[in-house]
A and B are shown apart, each in its own frame.
Chain A
């Protein structure tokens, strides 16, 4: 079965969700990752959606974003943003997903403004991204792997990662959390040392390609692994929830 970079990112993201975990689900690919994890290895995971939804079953039909009607039908609770954010702030959320326009070697994410040759390019802003980055126990970042996106230092820290290195989060007043993984179209990075280290290459991706498309000096784990290929069952599930290939096409 053919699969796209979006498919493999969804599978790699789903693999980060452990059974029984409480997951702050974002939009787009993470939404599919949560649904895939629920239907496979993490049937007891609980998803929180910032508009005010808690659900422990997959959405009842394909959805584009969190507010779609089938994502509310059959939820265990619908409420407001403050309640979901209170769960996050109280330390009840194991894992949160965010995306962005830029990420740096410390896992700081920018969704505000990017400097270009033509001047400053304004992006939509934080949404709940900064809240998830500040308050979740583990942060997962999902992004297309391009040199203009994986930069040495982001132009603007919207959602804080490890700032400029060890001790930074604590100095800011952030008592826990920080990036656990960066999942891109080419591979997966971990942040065990507070800096991005390449741990996985997606199938068929050359290390040299990753080096070319990474704006910082690439650090590679001693035992570099290959991301498992999506199984037919995984792809079936992704197609079920993204039938138009809106997010994974």
Chain B
């Protein structure tokens, strides 16, 4: 037994779980595991007025902003990891196009701590960074204070609680137990903070696979609302053991989004005109995605887990 079956289609999961006005934590792996398929489904369904929470968010946030679905961003970095600037983010902040955007700035460490505080049911986390940064000035999330024990100057970082975490993982069972290997960024903190998770995965596996290797389980199924099998769901971001970063895609995206009308054309071409991830892969082309697959296999040897 692995609990109730939570397997569903991505469109059903997004429609049921992502509410207008919700605070979503997503793009949590820093560079890997970015749930692009899920974000594209949110864009297709036009679910708006969102608050986006993340660390280095990569072009995922930029795309949701371009689609006019974002009211507020609570993040450490919004842009394109390969080229820097996210043009849609810039247009929104500088010119209010397509909507004005509220930005609450964090550092990578402080957003991780803010989520961890929420995960523990605490109103704040304590940090030293980013003391001295102008991010602290007039911030609704950072208040310097003096430690009652040591007298040190420290930072009270306000807890950040998402309504839902959206994550992409390597594998999960039908009950939502998720396994991940490789660097995970702030996935764990966000999942625990939200307490409600929409999972997309490369593969759904039998529960025995999960139980044979419990160290790799990052998300327990009881926090998961829906599991969707979406191979290539993180492209152009990498997923260890499945596919590598599609570097040129980020360069093409940067060139294609410099102007607002081109950015809208990009969304039409890569999101609105496509029905699902399958049609996205068809558009991408077999040659292109096959070239990203693992070519130098390095399976990890099994360990003894008996008694």
Q: How many residues of A contact B (CB 8 A)?
A: 56
Tell me, yes or no, whether B188 is within 8 Å of chain A by CB: yes
Query: Shortest distance in angstroms between A247's beta carbon and chain B's nearest beta carbon?
Result: 10
Say which residue of A49, A80, A172 sits within 8 Å of B186 (CB atoms). Answer: A80
Nearest-CB residue, chain B, relative to A74 = B298
Say which residue of B106, B132, B186 sits within 8 Å of A82 (CB atoms). Answer: B186
Residues in B whose Cβ lies below 8 Å from that of A121: 90, 94
Tell me, yes or no, whether B55 is within 8 Å of chain A by CB: yes
Residues in B whose Cβ lies below 8 Å from that of A133: 133
B82 & A80 in contact (Cβ 8 Å cutoff):
no
1/0 contact string of B166-183 vs chain A (CB within 8 Å): 000000000000000111
A160 & B184 in contact (Cβ 8 Å cutoff):
no
A51 & B76 in contact (Cβ 8 Å cutoff):
no
Query: Shortest distance in angstroms between A77's beta carbon and chain B's nearest beta carbon?
Result: 9
Given the known A-B contacts A60-B296, A126-B105, A131-B107, are A173 and B154 also in contact in the complex, defined by CB atoms under 8 Å?
Answer: yes
How far apart sit A67 and B154, CA to CA, in the bound complex (Å)?
A: 31
Q: How many residues of B contact A (CB 8 A)?
A: 61
Tell me, yes or no, whether A64 is within 8 Å of chain B by CB: yes
B181 & A78 in contact (Cβ 8 Å cutoff):
yes
Tell me, yes or no, whether B70 is within 8 Å of chain A by CB: no
Tell me, yes or no, whether A65 is within 8 Å of chain B by CB: yes
1/0 contact string of B99-134 vs chain A (CB within 8 Å): 000000111111011001000000000001111111
Query: Shortest distance in angstroms between A167's beta carbon and chain B's nearest beta carbon?
Result: 12
A-B contact count (CB 8 A): 191
Residues in A whose Cβ lies below 8 Å from that of B108: 50, 81, 85, 126-128, 131
Tell me, yes or no, whether A182 is within 8 Å of chain B by CB: no
Tell me, yes or no, whether A66 is within 8 Å of chain B by CB: yes
A134 & B132 in contact (Cβ 8 Å cutoff):
yes
Say which residue of B32, B84, B90, B107 sits within 8 Å of A67 (CB atoms). Answer: B32
Query: Shortest distance in angstroms between B163's beta carbon and chain A's nearest beta carbon?
Result: 22
How far apart sit A157 and B129, CA to CA, in the bound complex (Å)?
A: 13
Say which residue of A67, A119, A134 sits within 8 Å of B31 (CB atoms). Answer: A67
Interface centre among B89, B135, B187 (most CB of A within 10 A): B135
Interface centre among B86, B116, B183, B243 (most CB of A within 10 A): B183
Given the known A-B contacts A112-B105, A125-B105, are A172 and B187 also in contact in the complex, defined by CB atoms under 8 Å?
Answer: no
Tell me, yes or no, whether B152 is within 8 Å of chain A by CB: yes
B185 & A51 in contact (Cβ 8 Å cutoff):
yes
Residues in A whose Cβ lies below 8 Å from that of B183: 49, 51-53, 66-67, 72, 78-80
Query: Shortest distance in angstroms between B183's beta carbon and chain A's nearest beta carbon?
Result: 4
Tell me, yes or no, whether B209 is within 8 Å of chain A by CB: no
Query: Shortest distance in angstroms between A82's beta carbon and chain B's nearest beta carbon?
Result: 5
B109 & A128 in contact (Cβ 8 Å cutoff):
yes
Tell me, yes or no, whether A158 is within 8 Å of chain B by CB: yes
Given the known A-B contacts A50-B108, A135-B129, are A173 and B29 also in contact in the complex, defined by CB atoms under 8 Å?
Answer: no
Residues in A whose Cβ lies below 8 Å from that of B182: 72, 78
Say which residue of B85, B94, B106, B184 sits within 8 Å of A126 (CB atoms). Answer: B106
Tell me, yes or no, whether A124 is within 8 Å of chain B by CB: yes
Tell me, yes or no, whether B13 is within 8 Å of chain A by CB: no
Tell me, yes or no, whether B48 is within 8 Å of chain A by CB: no
1/0 contact string of A115-132 vs chain B (CB within 8 Å): 000011111111111110
Tell me, yes or no, whether A206 is within 8 Å of chain B by CB: no
Tell me, yes or no, whether A89 is within 8 Å of chain B by CB: yes
Given the known A-B contacts A69-B294, A120-B94, A173-B152, are A158 and B133 also in contact in the complex, defined by CB atoms under 8 Å?
Answer: yes
Given the known A-B contacts A78-B182, A125-B76, are A73 and B296 also in contact in the complex, defined by CB atoms under 8 Å?
Answer: yes
Residues in A whose Cβ lies below 8 Å from that of B245: 64-65, 67-69
Nearest-CB residue, chain B, relative to A169 = B132
Query: Shortest distance in angstroms between A39's beta carbon and chain B's nearest beta carbon?
Result: 19
Say which residue of B75, B152, B240 sits within 8 Å of A125 (CB atoms). Answer: B75
- Footprint of B on A, CB under 8 Å? 27, 49-53, 60-61, 64-70, 72-74, 78-82, 85, 88-89, 112, 119-131, 133-135, 156-160, 163, 168-169, 172-175, 246
- Footprint of A on B, CB under 8 Å? 29-32, 55-56, 75-79, 81-82, 84-86, 89-90, 93-94, 105-110, 112-113, 116, 128-135, 144, 152-155, 181-189, 237-238, 240, 243-245, 247, 294, 296, 298
Selected A-B contacts with CB under 8 Å, 26 pairs: A51-B183, A68-B245, A69-B238, A69-B245, A70-B244, A73-B298, A78-B182, A80-B187, A80-B188, A80-B189, A82-B113, A85-B112, A124-B85, A125-B75, A125-B79, A126-B107, A131-B108, A131-B109, A131-B130, A134-B133, A156-B134, A157-B132, A159-B133, A160-B133, A173-B152, A174-B131
Beyond known contacts A80-B184, A122-B90, A175-B128: 10 more, CB 8 A cutoff: A64-B245, A67-B81, A69-B294, A81-B184, A89-B129, A121-B94, A126-B133, A157-B133, A173-B128, A173-B153
